[in-house]
Amino acid sequence: MERLSIEEIIEHCKRKRETFEKVNGVEMLENKDISDTFIREYWEHRQVAEYLSELQQYRSIGTVEECRAAVEKQREKKYKTIEPCKSVTYYQCPCCNGLLHINENFCGECGQAILWEEEND
């Protein structure tokens, strides 16, 4: 048997909820004790549809791993200093080794947030 898509489950739950509301009235369903099996079924279908709709919105943003990677990029990391000779200093991204311009807030190559702090002599 083929699995249902999230969209199909949401639509099923919405149809069930609408049927409950049409037959019994929204006011009765929302004001009656949830311990009643019938009322509980109404709320289960309603909440599943809401939760899955919210899940769809999160999935459109990206996977959990992609979101974690994006959050990690926003955490500032200190630049690397490279001195090929005494008169020249380069700054590199700590993640991708891309060259940085002084006081650039983000790496132009990978987007990593860069922490610029004064060096104490």
Instruction: Quick: pLDDT tens for 24-68.
Output: 998 888 888 888 888 899 999 999 999 999 999 988 888 889 989
pLDDT for the residue 121: 46
Give residue-wise pLDDT tens across range 64-80.
899 899 999 999 999 99
Does 96 score more than 80 pLDDT? yes
Token pair in block for residue 7 = 């969209």
Q: Taking a C-beta distance cutoff of 8 angstroms, is the pair 110, 95 a contact?
A: yes
Pick 59 or 11 by higher pLDDT.
11
Average pLDDT value for the chain = 89
Residue 94 and residue 80 in contact, taking contact as beta carbons nearer than 8 Å: yes
Of the CA atoms within 13 Å of residue 65, those in its CB half-sphere come to 0
Residue 120 has pLDDT above 80, yes or no: no
Answer whether 0.85 is exceeded by the pTM.
Answer: no
Task: Give the per-residue pLDDT at 91.
Answer: 92
Residue 118: the pLDDT is 65
